[in-house]
């Protein structure tokens, strides 16, 4: 029993000490660009802050931006059955991940073109460029990585919506209305999202709401009044928790 307990503790420590970034497991299946790119953002280090299903996120040293780099595959909690399933269906999983990446690219391109103010997007890099873009990424350790061959996104850094509400209780009413106005503007521009995950996908830059994850944004076809009524009721229910 003692050795089992020791093994479990060592396993837990190993998982906690394992870095989130694996430079060899980033998405690389993108086309060559006709034009090149120079970016001033990478003259500073970027530190790991979070990750989602599809991207790993780093914050700039000055606190003004986030860098989102696409993962090479979805990482799920370890299960022996998943490992076997991945080996059996490896090609199907690769095709599915490629399709998901293509959909995310389309959504971010729509957002940059039509909803830049509403998303804080600065730069999309979805094609390989020739000029080196060396960047220092800090996770458990520091990596010097040339990301000109990788797809990535630069976005203004925002405070997550729950944190904003918790830190600004006196502004709760104004913040709730600002979120409602945000969705009105987005819908007036002809776009919506099948999910409105306020806890994870929305934040505030100053006192202005922004959508952080636009991977599922799409043109809206339907009853706008009904859509707004549903979203605003969701906002009221969500903000009532703070």
Q: What is the CATH number of domain 158-242?
A: 1.10.510
Q: What is the pLDDT of residues 108-161, one digit of tens each?
A: 999 999 999 999 999 999 988 888 889 999 988 888 988 988 999 999 999 999
d(CA 69, CA 150): 8
Distance CA 64, CA 7 (A): 42
Name the pLDDT band for 15 (thresholds 50, 70, 90).
very low
The pLDDT of residue 74 is 56
pLDDT for the residue 85: 52
Task: Report the mean per-residue pLDDT for the chain.
Answer: 84
CA-based nearest residue to 208, from 236, 168, 237, 238:
168
Strand partners for 135: 145
Residue ranges per structural domain of the chain: 20-157, 158-242
pLDDT value of residue 75: 54
Q: What percent of the chain has pLDDT over 90?
A: 55
pLDDT at 78: 45
Is residue 56 within 8 Å of residue 69, measured between CB atoms?
yes
Task: Write out pLDDT tens, residues 53-94.
Answer: 889 999 999 999 999 999 987 554 444 444 455 555 666 777
């Amino acid at each position: 029993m003692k050795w089992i307990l020791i093994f479990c503790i060592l396993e837990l420590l190993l998982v906690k000490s394992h870095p989130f970034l694996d430079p060899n497991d980033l998405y690389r299946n993108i086309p060559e660009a006709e034009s090149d790119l120079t970016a001033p953002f990478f003259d500073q280090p970027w530190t790991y802050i979070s990750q989602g299903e599809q991207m790993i996120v780093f914050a700039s040293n000055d606190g003004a931006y986030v860098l989102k780099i696409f993962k090479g595959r979805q990482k799920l909690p370890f299960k022996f059955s998943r490992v076997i399933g991945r080996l059996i269906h490896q090609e199907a999983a690769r095709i599915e991940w490629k399709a998901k990446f293509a959909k995310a690219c389309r959504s971010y391109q729509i957002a940059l073109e039509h909803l830049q103010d509403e998303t804080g997007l600065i730069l999309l890099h979805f094609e390989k460029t020739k000029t080196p873009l060396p960047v220092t990424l800090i996770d458990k350790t520091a990596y010097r990585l040339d990301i000109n061959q990788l797809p990535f996104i630069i976005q203004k850094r925002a405070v997550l919506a729950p944190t904003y509400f918790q830190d600004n209780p006196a502004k709760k009413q104004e913040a709730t209305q600002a979120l409602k106005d945000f969705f009105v503007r987005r819908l007036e521009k002809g776009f919506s999202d099948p999910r409105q995950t306020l806890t994870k996908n929305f934040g505030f830059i100053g006192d202005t709401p922004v959508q952080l994850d636009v991977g599922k944004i799409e043109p809206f076809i339907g009853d706008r009044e009904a859509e707004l009524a549903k979203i605003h009721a969701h906002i009221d229910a969500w903000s009532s928790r703070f």
